[in-house]
Amino acid sequence: MIGLGVMGAPIARHLGSAGHRLTIYNRSPERREKWLADNPGLAARVADTPADAATGADVVITCVGNDDDLSDVVLGPNGAFKAMRKGSLLIDHTTASARIARQIAVEARDLQIHCVDAPMTGSQIGAEKGTLTLMCGGRGDAIAAAMPIFEAYTSRVVHIGKAGAGQTAKMANQICIAGIVSGLAEAMRFAQASHLDTDKVYEAISGGAAQSWQMDNRWKTMAEDSFDFGFAVDWMRKDLGLAMDEGRGLGVSLPITALVNQFYAEVQAIGGGRQDTSALVRRLPNPAKRK
């Protein structure tokens, strides 16, 4: 397991708990040491480099920050591909560009390594519970080889298409979330300005067409100005940037995505970059706090 961040750490825990012989690698020693302290005995080995982690492994899983990080831990001088053997499997859970996913797939093919790009949805809660949904790109035989691994931490796996298709599907996912959270933030401030009981508003509207995962999990915490729940604004901006870049290449207009991306830039400017995506409501004045 290469990458022990918000999503990678619980995935590693599920793998170790499922009985897999687990080697871990993380670039920051502090995060690695915390994982070891929180999960005593679950790691069989701690690696010094991604290549060291991949040595002798049947499966290498990556879950890092962005394209550059992914390129470094897979394709770099000390990357996993320097040590992975023929017939082994690379599973990448990073949310990255379709371009880097396709590049890695080509390199993997030349090395006779199976490869799956498998970005996730389900948030930190899903990672902790082992109920993530994966959207996968790659060959059918690679997906089949990955399924016994996925069983440890997923509730749904969908094979979208060829290499890079998983990443493109994740972009569609983030486009949807951006629009939903923006609407939810406006609805919250509208209800507050109307002096409505937001709990009763939720009770009334959450059973109808307005219902969403975001409403069920973030309406109450948004009303409380509580934003310490997983996926950060900084990462959402990264993901929306990937979607807009891909859209430009496809000739697809994404005006709402571009607008919400700018809204998130406003949240970053007021110090909310590490808060979760529902912090989008912070850019709208809270009528309850008006003098």
Residues 123 and 218 sit within 8 Å (Cβ to Cβ): no
Distance CA 73, CA 136 (A): 20
Asked about 289 being catalytic, the answer comes back as no
Among 4, 8, 35, 27, smallest CA distance to 76 is for 27
Which tokens sit at 14? 């599920």
Residue 260: DSSP 8-state: H
Distance CA 138, CA 127 (A): 22
Which tokens sit at 6? 């918000």
Among 116, 95, 129, smallest CA distance to 17 is for 129
Look up residue 50 and give its amino acid: P
Taking each continuous run of H as one helix and of E as one strand, the counts in the chain are: 12, 8
Taking the CB of residue 218, how many other CB atoms lie within 10 A of it? 25
Look up residue 148 and give its amino acid: P
Which of 34, 162, 170, 291 is flagged as catalytic? Answer: 170
Residues belonging to the active site: 170
